[in-house]
């Protein structure tokens, strides 16, 4: 019913993925598999809402009014069984912006902030660019899957200057949808040690069949000790509208965060983002379900292809996100050589090392694209890996 097959040409639209792709992919007929936006048009209801908003002609300052909040609330309730209240909500110009605001609101220069690499690069830069100390609790990679290192987390949390943890849930790039039990252990450790948790849940709607996302704030001891970051941007391919919904149930934390957010970005909801969010959250559920089926089929295609054609490589089984994490360490290449090999096959991917500790030797693939494009990319992968073998 929805179209996830048409290949849409984005060249010349100022797309970072297309127009700023590395050579020789830039300008070629091959679509990059980098930055996390999708090669699918958003839900038709959202496009119509934006068209209606455009026809109005006045694009003034807009805010999170009742219509906006009610749409957000009903989505959180129906998709995540989470009851949210208007006073909890602060909007920011994206989740990365919220990470920086949180770091500046809840820590002083020089204090420690925990991250769990390999992880989305702005986690580290939000800490370092604000002059805070990066404290790492690297994920453990065992039996082909990732888990958290609770003993090390406990040790890091007891360091006296550690005040904040940036949690990626679901986790980009390894694709874990953390279970309730795993998150409950994090909530418990952080609560006991007075470490506030920023739970970046931007991928919360992109959950593959058989998995369930747990909102961090719903865990015991978490409600008063967390900041939950959500957005329509990943779910509905609306990243260019720069808007996210940040929930902070604790009044004191909220006041510190929202004051800074207002100072730094004015507290508006961008005009088109307001229209798009209302449409997404009231009319977008069916489209999202079809998107998830499409992405899940792409994951399965990739697993099958790699098993059959490239058994020396492996793909970590993704529970959520539309990002695949491929282990290419068996090729024995350093970061530069691996990147050069991929580009030789016209494969623009996100290099594992940019995700920090233990990311080297992996590649992150964005599978939110028509299956035909993914299939072509996998065939190019096979060809370059063969050329390397021979
Ligand atoms: C975990 C995570 N957080 C934040 C973002 C970006 O958020 P925004 O565009 O709202 O700043 C991404 C984008 O890929 C992401 O994967």
Shared-domain flag, residues 356 and 242: no
Shared-domain flag, residues 309 and 276: no
Residue 77's pLDDT band, with cuts at 50, 70 and 90, is very high
Q: Would you say 127 and 118 are in contact if contact means Cβ atoms under 8 Å apart? A: no
CA dist 116 and 147 (Å) reads: 10
Residue 220 in domain: yes
Residue 314 has pLDDT above 90, yes or no: yes
Residue 228 has pLDDT above 90, yes or no: yes
Shared-domain flag, residues 76 and 169: yes
Q: What's the pLDDT at 267?
A: 81
Residue 380 has pLDDT above 90, yes or no: yes
Q: What is the mean pLDDT of residues 323-343?
A: 98
- Residue 353 CA, ligand 1 centroid: distance in Å: 18
Q: For the chain, what percent of residues have pLDDT higher than 70?
A: 100
Residue 209: enclosing H or E segment and its boundaries?
A: none
Classify residue 133 by its DSSP letter: E
Instruction: Give the residue, out of 97, 98, 117, 234, with the most ligand 1 atoms within 8 A of its beta carbon, to mutate for a pocket test.
Output: 234
Shared-domain flag, residues 33 and 160: no
Residue 1's pLDDT band, with cuts at 50, 70 and 90, is confident
Residue 203 in domain: yes
Pick the atom of ligand 1 nearest to 96's CA.
11
Shared-domain flag, residues 33 and 86: no
Shared-domain flag, residues 297 and 241: no
- CATH code of residue 292: 3.90.1150.10
Q: What is the mean pLDDT of residues 224-233?
A: 98
Q: What's the pLDDT at 265?
A: 79
Ligand 1, CB within 6 Å, residue ranges:
36, 94-97, 120, 168, 172, 200, 202, 231, 233, 239, 244
Q: What's the pLDDT at 53?
A: 98
Instruction: Express each pLDDT in 27-42 by its tens digit.
Output: 899 999 999 999 999 9
Considering only CA atoms, give the Rg of the chain: 21
- Residue 200 CA, ligand 1 centroid: distance in Å: 8
Shared-domain flag, residues 294 and 264: no
Q: What is the mean pLDDT of residues 223-239?
A: 98
Q: For the chain, what percent of residues have pLDDT higher than 90?
A: 97
- Residue 26 CA, ligand 1 centroid: distance in Å: 23
CA dist 300 and 365 (Å) reads: 13
Instruction: Express each pLDDT in 125-184 by its tens digit.
Output: 999 999 999 999 999 999 999 999 999 999 999 999 999 999 999 999 999 999 999 999
- CATH code of residue 119: 3.40.640.10
Residue 65 in domain: yes
Q: What is the mean pLDDT of residues 71-86?
A: 98
* CA-nearest residue, atom 9 of ligand 1: 94
Instruction: Give the residue, out of 95, 230, 246, with the most ligand 1 atoms within 8 A of its beta carbon, to mutate for a pocket test.
Output: 95
Query: In the sheet that 362-366 helps form, which strands lie side by side, from edge to edge?
Result: 314-315, 323-327, 362-366, 350-351
Pick the atom of ligand 1 nearest to 231's CA.
10
Q: What is the mean pLDDT of residues 59-79?
A: 97
The pTM of the full predicted model, rounded to 2 decimals, is 0.98
Residue 25: which domain range?
Answer: 16-43+285-389
Q: Compute how many other C-beta atoms are within 10 angstroms of the C-beta atom of residue 299.
A: 22
- Residue 85 CA, ligand 1 centroid: distance in Å: 24
**Stronger pLDDT, 18 or 389, i.e. the higher one:** 18
CA dist 208 and 293 (Å) reads: 8
Give pairs for 286-290: CB < 8 Å, separation 24+. 286/1, 286/2, 287/2, 287/43, 287/44, 287/45, 287/236, 288/43, 288/205, 288/235, 288/236, 290/1, 290/2, 290/4
At which of 238, 257, 283 does a domain end? Answer: 283
At which of 237, 256, 283 does a domain end? Answer: 283
- Residue 387 CA, ligand 1 centroid: distance in Å: 35
Side-chain-side CA neighbours of 366 within 13 Å: the count stands at 20
- Residue 363 CA, ligand 1 centroid: distance in Å: 18
Residue 292 in domain: yes
Report the number of distinct structural domains present in the chain: 2
Shared-domain flag, residues 20 and 81: no
Residue 390 has pLDDT above 80, yes or no: no
Pick the atom of ligand 1 nearest to 97's CA.
11
* CA-nearest residue, atom 10 of ligand 1: 94
Residue 2 in domain: no
Residue 115 in domain: yes
Shared-domain flag, residues 84 and 218: yes
What is the average pLDDT score of the chain? Answer: 97
Separate counts of helices (H) and strands (E) for the chain: 13, 13
Residue 50 in domain: no
Shared-domain flag, residues 81 and 204: yes
- Residue 277 CA, ligand 1 centroid: distance in Å: 16
Q: What is the mean pLDDT of residues 279-299?
A: 98
- Residue 175 CA, ligand 1 centroid: distance in Å: 14
At which of 265, 283, 301 does a domain end? Answer: 283
Cα 189 off chain centre by: 24
Q: What's the pLDDT at 388?
A: 86
Instruction: Express each pLDDT in 236-253 by its tens digit.
Output: 999 999 999 999 999 999
Residue 266 has pLDDT above 90, yes or no: no
Shared-domain flag, residues 295 and 183: no
By CB atoms closer than 10 A (0-12, 13-18, 19+), residue 52 is exposed
Shared-domain flag, residues 232 and 309: no
Residue 9 in domain: no
Can the peptide bond before residue 85 be classed as cis, meaning omega within 30 degrees of 0? no
Instruction: Give the residue, out of 172, 175, 241, with the most ligand 1 atoms within 8 A of its beta carbon, to mutate for a pocket test.
Output: 172
């Amino acid at each position: 019913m929805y179209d996830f097959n048409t290949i849409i040409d984005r060249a010349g639209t100022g797309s970072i993925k297309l127009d700023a792709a590395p050579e020789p992919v830039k300008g070629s007929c091959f679509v990059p598999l980098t930055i996390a936006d999708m090669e699918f048009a958003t839900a038709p209801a959202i496009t119509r809402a934006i068209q209606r908003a455009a026809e109005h002609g006045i694009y003034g300052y807009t805010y999170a009014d009742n219509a906006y909040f009610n749409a957000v609330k009903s989505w959180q309730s129906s998709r995540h069984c989470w009851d949210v209240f208007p006073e909890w909500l602060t909007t920011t110009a994206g989740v990365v912006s919220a990470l920086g605001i949180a770091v500046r609101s809840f820590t002083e220069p020089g204090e420690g902030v925990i991250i769990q690499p390999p992880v989305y690069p702005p986690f580290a830069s939000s800490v370092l660019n604000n002059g805070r100390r990066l404290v790492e609790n690297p994920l453990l990679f065992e039996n082909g899957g990732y888990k958290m290192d609770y003993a090390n987390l406990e040790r890091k949390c007891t360091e006296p200057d550690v005040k904040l943890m940036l949690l990626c849930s679901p986790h980009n790039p390894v694709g874990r949808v953390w279970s309730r039990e795993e998150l409950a252990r994090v909530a418990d450790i952080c609560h006991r040690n007075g470490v506030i948790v920023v739970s970046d849940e931007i991928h919360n709607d992109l959950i593959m069949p058989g998995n369930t996302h747990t909102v961090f704030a719903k865990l015991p001891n978490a409600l008063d000790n967390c900041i939950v970051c959500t957005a329509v941007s990943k779910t509905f391919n609306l990243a260019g509208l720069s808007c996210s919904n940040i929930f902070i149930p604790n009044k004191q934390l909220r006041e510190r965060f929202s004051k800074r957010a207002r100072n730094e970005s004015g507290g508006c909801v961008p005009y088109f983002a307001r229209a798009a969010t209302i449409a997404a959250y009231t009319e977008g559920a069916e489209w999202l379900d079809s998107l998830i089926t499409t992405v899940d089929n792409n994951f399965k295609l990739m697993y099958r292809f790699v098993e059959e054609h490239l058994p020396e490589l492996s793909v970590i089984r993704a529970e959520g996100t539309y990002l695949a994490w491929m282990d290419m360490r068996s090729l024995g290449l350093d970061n530069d050589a691996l990147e050069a090999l991929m580009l030789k096959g016209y494969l623009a991917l996100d290099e594992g090392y940019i995700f920090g500790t233990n990311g080297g030797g992996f590649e992150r693939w964005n599978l939110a694209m028509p299956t035909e494009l993914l299939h072509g990319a996998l065939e190019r992968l096979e060809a370059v890996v063969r050329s390397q073998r021979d």
